[in-house]
Structures are given as C-alpha cells and as structure tokens.
Copies of this chain bind each other. A is one copy, B any other.
Amino acid sequence: MRNLHSNGNLRKLDSDEGETTEDNSCQNGFGDGVILGLDGGATSTVCVCVPFSPYGDRLPEPLPILGRAVAGCTNSNSVGETAARDSLEQVISEALVQSGSDKSIVRGVCLGVSGVNHPSDQEKIENWIRDMFPSHVKVYVQNDAIVALASGTMGKLHGCVLIAGTGCIAYGFDEDGREARASGAGPILGDWGSGYGIAAQALTAVIRAHDGRGPQTMLTSTILKVLGLSSPDELIGWTYADPSWARIAALVPQVVSCAEAGDKISDKILVDAAEDLALSVKAVVKRLGLCGEDGTASFPVVMVGGVLNAKRKWDIGKEVSKHINQYFPGAETIIPKVEPAVGAALLAMNFLTS
C-alpha cells in the first residue's frame, strides 16, 4: 500500500508554478489557468477542461466545465499502445480547443485510466502525457478507480469505489491514505461482474445450450438477433473476429432484457455478477477496516459505470447495494453527481493545492 497524499513533487510545484503563471495567466481570460481531467475507460476516454481554483476546499459548485471531448479507449492492454496514445492526444486537443484555451495555460493534468496496475504502467503513461505538454505542467496518472472515488467524494480520497462498466474494480482508501483494491484484473483473470464478464457468460450459455451441455435460454434468439447472425456456430467467429472487450460488453443490455423477461439463465448470470461485485467491495473494506472494529462504522461506497447505473427494472446496482448493506450496515452507497473525468480534475486540484 502506498500513501498518495505525501507526494514530494506536490510541494515543489507551488514555487515552480509562480513563475510560469505570470507569463500565461491572462491568456483567454482564465486568470489562474486550467486543469484537465481525463477518464480513460475501457470503452472511451473523456477529457474535461475546468478553471483552476486556488482556494482548496472552497470550490465553486457546480464546477464550470469549459470544454469536454470524447475519444476511443486508452487502455493499452486492450487496444495496444499506439491506439491508446493517439486517443489521448486527440481527446486533450479537442477539450482545449472547445474551452478556447491552449496547452500553455494548463496547470495540471490528471488521468484516471483502467489497466494501470503497476508503477511501471503508470510511469509509461505519465511520460506520454508529459511529452504532450510544456515541462512545468504537473501530470498525475491514477487508476480509474481512484478518480471515480474522487467524483463521488468531491475529491476526497476516503471510502470505497466500485466501478463496473466494460471492466470492473473495487478500490478504497482509509483516513490514513492506505489503499487497497480487488478485481480489476481483466476478463481472463476472473472479473466476472464486469460488463465483459456478464456478456461472456451469456455467450457461453448460448453455446452450451446449442451444444446440448446446458439448458435452453432466451439469450440465444435475443443475442443472435441483435448481432444479425443466424446460428450459434457463427457466434464463435464473431467473438474472435475482434479482441475489443467493449464489443463483447455491449451485449449486457440484452442479458438484462432476458432476465427481466423471466429467463432463468440470464437471471442467474446477473445474480452471480452482483454477488461477485459486492464481494470485491467486501474484500477492500475488510482489508482497510473501513467498517470499524464492530463492522458498523459509516463510510462511502461510490458506485460508477454502466453496469451499476443502467436504471433498468433488473437493477444490478441496487442488487449490489443490497449485498453491501448486508455485509456493512454503515456503508452509504453514492452515485456521483459528476462524471469521472470531473473527478480527475478535482483530484488534480487537490494535489496542486494541498
């Protein structure tokens, strides 16, 4: 476990920045410069440009969004390094153009990205971004889970966050800045509660029914129809034609529809996914002791991602919350009011002003 709060670079920053902002502070009317917040999910990358606010906790609410852009996936495990880097360049340029600002008045950039599991991954992406900016710009690359947590707590790193979109991860911080995570290891390594995991289990159920190894399911006709295929045999070619995880995960709405229509196989896939997601939160909370010694302490659990917030009748997010509150009566599940990219900007603001 690392302590994110004690970062020597942050203290050095204040004096460095004084000189730089003298040159650029009045350009385009953004007196204190701007911050870029990025959310690099497995499906797309969002970049927002917000005004830098040097007042610590006294942030304007809602935070004004000067520019916002969306590009492709920046997880190099999924799309490869070249595509990831190109998407980053593109989304940053577009957000700056939209906001009417430019690279010279950027104070800090914070990117939350999935697939950052090791310091060397983090460093690699930090270097990509540093190469895109003047040397005085501060760059922070964080696991997307940390940024998502900040989006639910207005930048404060305390509590647990659960993300379930194409991928899934649970991440948490205690009051002392100790961190812990669970899941987030990608589809091969058992992220069964992710959108990819749910959809892959649904595709597997179709194949098993077709083979005679498993019961018939409504998923067969529903999935074949949406993909325009005529036989489950064709699903095999479809599945391996493109390695993108997001393409598989895009089938989750069909699984939810089948479960809502009473399909038992689909229902079981969703029930198991919800249990698995709650188990990831449980593992993080236990390791950090967020629930206190008697298990009843209050702490936030920020819930992010299309799998949790789809607002469908069969509500995976509600099912996960139910399990979490069975484990920990003091857990407060929070659906963030701002998107993860804004969480990244809030985090950069906290790092720059702390």
Contact assessment for A233 and B189 in the assembled complex, using a CB-CB cutoff below 8 Å? no
Which listed segment binds B: A18-26, A62-70, A201-209? A201-209
Q: What's the Cα separation between A92 and B189 when bound, in Å?
A: 37
Contact call B207/A200, Cβ cutoff below 8 A: no
Contact A204 B189 (CB under 8 A): yes
A182-B211 contact in complex given A117-B233, A233-B117, C-beta closer than 8 Å: yes
- B188 to A203, Cβ gap below 8 A? yes
Q: Assess the A235–B189 pair: CB atoms within 8 A.
A: yes
Q: Are A207 and B190 in contact (CB under 8 A)?
A: yes
Question: A298: CB under 8 A from chain B?
Answer: no
User: Chain B interface: which of A44-52, A278-286, A326-334?
Assistant: A278-286
Contact residues in B for A187 (Cβ distance below 8 Å): 188
- A236: chain B residues at CB < 8 Å are 117-118, 185-186, 189
* Docked complex: A134-191 residues within 8 A CB-CB of B: 180-183, 185-190
* A289, chain B: closest CB distance, angstroms: 12
Known contacts A185-B236, A243-B243; is-contact A213 B279 (Cβ 8 Å): yes
Chain B residues, Cβ within 8 Å of A180: 212
Q: Are A211 and B181 in contact (CB under 8 A)?
A: yes
Partner of A283, one of B118, B121, B211, B234: B211
Question: Is A77 part of the contact surface with B, judged by Cβ < 8 Å?
Answer: yes
Question: Are A118's CB and B233's CB within 8 A?
Answer: yes
A240 within 8 A of B: yes
A60 is an interface residue with CB less than 8 A from chain B: no
Contact A189 B213 (CB under 8 A): no
B contact residues around A190 at 8 Å (CB): 204, 207-208
Contact of A118 among B121, B181, B212, B237 (CB under 8 A): B237
Closest Cβ–Cβ distance, residue A171 to chain B (whole Å) = 11
Q: Does A239 contact B (CB under 8 A)?
A: yes
Total contacting residues, chain A, CB less than 8 A: 40
Contact B189 A200 (CB under 8 A): yes
CB of A225 within 8 Å of the partner chain: no
Bound together, the chains give a CA A173 to CA B294 distance in angstroms of 62
Let me know if B248 and A188 touch, CB within 8 A: yes
- Residues of B near A181 (CB, < 8 A) are 211
Please give, as numbers and ranges, the residues of chain B lying within 8 Å of A283 by CB-CB distance: 211-213
CB of A268 within 8 Å of the partner chain: no
Chain B residue at minimum C-beta to C-beta distance from A181: B211
| Contact A185/B212 with A118-B237, A236-B117, A237-B117 known, Cβ cut-off 8 Å | no
A183 partner, pick from B211, B248, B279, beta carbons under 8 A? B211
Chain B: which residue is nearest A231 at the CB level? Answer: B118
Chain B contacts of A235 at CB under 8 A?
185, 189
Complex alpha-carbon distance, A115 and B241, angstroms: 12
State whether the Cβ of A5 lies closer than 8 Å to any Cβ in chain B: no
Given contacts A211-B280, A280-B213, A287-B212, contact A239 B186 (CB under 8 A): yes
Q: CB-CB < 8 A to A203: which residues of B?
A: 188-189
- Whether A239 pairs with B280 at a CB distance below 8 angstroms is no
Q: Which 3 pairs from chain A and chain B are nearest by CB?
A: A190-B204, A212-B283, A182-B211
In the complex, 11 of the A-B residue pairs with CB atoms within 8 angstroms, ordered by the A residue number, are A115-B240, A117-B233, A117-B236, A118-B233, A118-B234, A121-B237, A183-B213, A186-B240, A189-B200, A212-B286, A213-B279
